[in-house]
Structure 1
Amino acid sequence: MRIATVTQNLRIDNSITSIQRQIADAQLQISTGKRSQVYSGFDGQDVRLLINLKEQRTSVESYVTTIKNTQVKTKTIDAALVTFTDITQDLRKKLYEQVEGLYDNSALALQTFANAAIDQLTNLLNQTADGKYLFNGTDTDAQPMIDAATTKGAYVQPALSGGFAGVTAAVTTFFGTDTNWNNVTTPAPGSLRARIDEGVDVTFGELANDDAFEEVFEVMYAFANVNFQPGDDANYEQLVNWGIGKVEAAFELINDMVGQNGVIGAQMKTREEAHSDSLTLLETQILDIEDIDPYEAVSTFQTLQAQLEASFQTTSVLRGLSLTRYL
């Protein structure tokens, strides 16, 4: 039998220190439920897999964030377009009411409606989300519509007594020049775009100077500025029929915009749901690597604690030996 040496004592001390470190790790695992707080605490293969899974999770989360931000914009656009169609439909209804021929009684009501609707429609096309204009393509920092007061002040319409052709020519010429009523640049800026998945982009948005919007504004301005007088019936009737034709065509086109915007919204919702499923799977895989079985952690802690106690007892015995006791 050998008497304990300084080297043996050092080895025992190192062993005790190692066990104490393992106990501290086990305590941390019990308190956090995680196998390790750093990558070095995992096996090499698990580290590579964990890094890959977390990168995938980050990518999917970024797509989800993009979708949510884009949905705010498409929903705002949808609300604006739906309201635009509602006002256009009301305009069509009021124009049909004029056909009854009681123009001296109904012209003023239509004129009042058109004046108020111009302000509403202009504000709708100047809608923003996150401080960005939605009806000016990628030029989101520029207000697409000139304010209604300025446009109303710039527009000049001849008297209806001068003939139907003169009134329609004036309004068509005015709105045929974009700079008279909107700020959309030429050539028109591209559509808004968002990447919602790897290699998958959606384009969305409408331009304020779209022909459908222009048609409605032409009719609105024509009737907002008409000054019906006795004897203008024939010209007014022509103006009403002209307005009905333009509004009905515009109504269909704007409805198509609503439908297309809805298709984009549905596409994003489908992608968002798929991403949600992917995130659930990725999170499960990550937790399978990161998390530790609490029973396993407690069992390891108890085993290490017993080893530590045994080591302390052994150290105490060995350090209590002397030559006299040995003999």
Structure 2
Amino acid sequence: MATVSTLSRLDAGSLALRMRLDALTRQVADGRKGPHYGDIAPQARLAIDLRADLARREAWQGNIDTAQARTSVTQNAMQRIADIATDFYEKATKLDGTSATLISAVATQARAAMTEIANLLNETHAGQYVFGGTDSANPPVPDAAGIASSGMAADIAAAVAGLAPGNAATVAAATLAAAASDAAGTTPFSAFLSDPARGLSELRQAVPTGEGQSIDYGIVANRNAAATSGGAQTTGSWSRDILRGLATLAALDPSQAALGTDFTDLVASVRVGLRGAIDTLGVEQGALGATEERLQSISRRHDDLTITLKTQLASVEEVDMAETLSRLDATKTQLEASYRAIALVSSLSLTNFL
């Protein structure tokens, strides 16, 4: 009976050692204390809280990364638009009515530039139109290729065609009104962006960056975001002002140079409008750049805090590998000794015992 009792105790001890060895082997394999929260009691609640905080920060970081990608595309498009506007501002300074060839060339180039700008306002990132506001699945300029013959361009061309002695200011006002119009059939912008109840009144797109925090970053095709347009020759929107200037230049006829002052006054209004639009666009770019810097700063802070949280979580959920390996070796030694003891006791006979 004593031998049986001894064997039972040895078997129970061996089983406990085997279970400990299995647990240590798994810990060495995955580095974790265990697959269940019970394995890390009483710090399970802390682990849950840390994981929840990590998940929130990863979501915010993902939002920021997406917003930064969109702002980068937006900045590149705006810079190209600014370059085009600057180029035509400089061209307009040379239109003094003395060269019919130059007037024709600038008109042709302006029509092509309108198409390029319309396509720039239709820039996309990850399949979404960055200048489309919340209607990001649809182009803000539905017919970019045909913008030079849009209702806005046609109205401006009709106004320019009516240039006559003494009415340059009236013609300029008519081109301004056409560019500012949100009427269907006139505006080149989408129905969504032109709707006072939707695109024209919606808030800027914003990115959640923290608990109860967000940063505005969206810019739409037909109205300003952070910048304010000023002066007599503005629609209130840098994009409309640029398109108005280009459409006016595109509609010029070399024969109108003979009107002298009226021709140069109309061209001067184009220059003033383009200059104001270029300055306003620069302010818009600067404001968006400041937003990008804020997003980058917040992103770095989330990265730093994520590292800290992961370190804290590791201290709760993960094992000390050096200590675990040492315990694994010790347990193996104990288990081998247990097996030898069981084998020895099992081989004892009554004769050997006596």
Contact 1:119 1:148 in 2 (8 A): yes
Contact 2:110 2:246 in 1 (8 A): yes
Cα shift readout 1:124-179 (whole Å, capped 9, x = no counterpart) = 11111121112222221232113244443331423255353454344233223223
Q: In the alignment, which residue of structure 2 is the partner of 1:52?
A: 49
Shift of 1:216: 1.4
Q: In the alignment, which residue of structure 1 is the partner of 2:295?
A: 268
Q: In the alignment, which residue of structure 1 is the partner of 2:209?
A: 196
Q: Which amino acid aligns with 1:254?
A: L
Q: Which amino acid aligns with 1:94?
A: K
Q: In the alignment, which residue of structure 2 is the partner of 1:70?
A: 67
Q: In the alignment, which residue of structure 1 is the partner of 2:231?
A: none
Matched residue SS, 1:4: helix
Contact 2:64 2:295 in 1 (8 A): yes
Contact 1:160 1:228 in 2 (8 A): no
**CA distance change for structure 1 residues 295 and 175 in 2, over 3 Å: closer, same or farther?**
closer
Looking at structure 1, the residues matched to 58 and 221 of structure 2 have their Cα atoms a distance apart, in angstroms, of 33
Alignment of 1:92 onto 2:89: yes
Match of 1:117 among 113, 127, 138: 113
Alignment of 1:104 onto 2:128: no
Matched residue SS, 2:132: coil
Looking at structure 2, the residues matched to 228 and 166 of structure 1 have their Cα atoms a distance apart, in angstroms, of 20
Matched residue SS, 1:98: coil
Q: In the alignment, which residue of structure 1 is the partner of 2:179?
A: 175
Any gaps of 5 or more consecutive residues in structure 1?
none
Runs of 4+ more than 6 Å apart = none
Looking at structure 1, the residues matched to 90 and 111 of structure 2 have their Cα atoms a distance apart, in angstroms, of 16
Looking at structure 2, the residues matched to 286 and 223 of structure 1 have their Cα atoms a distance apart, in angstroms, of 65
Paired residues, number:
323
- Tell me the TM-score normalised to structure 1 length: 0.90
RMSD over aligned Cα, in angstroms? 2.2
Looking at structure 2, the residues matched to 247 and 257 of structure 1 have their Cα atoms a distance apart, in angstroms, of 15
Alignment of 1:142 onto 2:141: no
**CA distance change for structure 1 residues 117 and 248 in 2, over 3 Å: closer, same or farther?**
same
Looking at structure 2, the residues matched to 216 and 89 of structure 1 have their Cα atoms a distance apart, in angstroms, of 10
Alignment of 1:129 onto 2:129: no
Higher RCO (CA-CA < 8 Å; seq separation 6+): 1
Q: In the alignment, which residue of structure 1 is the partner of 2:58?
A: 61
Alignment of 1:253 onto 2:280: yes
Any gaps of 5 or more consecutive residues in structure 2?
224-236
Contact 1:126 1:134 in 2 (8 A): yes
Q: In the alignment, which residue of structure 1 is the partner of 2:251?
A: 225
Q: Which amino acid aligns with 2:17?
A: I
Q: Which amino acid aligns with 2:7?
A: N
Q: In the alignment, which residue of structure 2 is the partner of 1:4?
A: 3
Matched residue SS, 2:3: coil
- Tell me the TM-score normalised to structure 2 length: 0.84
Contact 2:205 2:216 in 1 (8 A): yes
Identity of aligned residues (%): 23
Looking at structure 2, the residues matched to 46 and 147 of structure 1 have their Cα atoms a distance apart, in angstroms, of 61
Cα shift readout 1:170-198 (whole Å, capped 9, x = no counterpart) = 42332232232211132323211110122
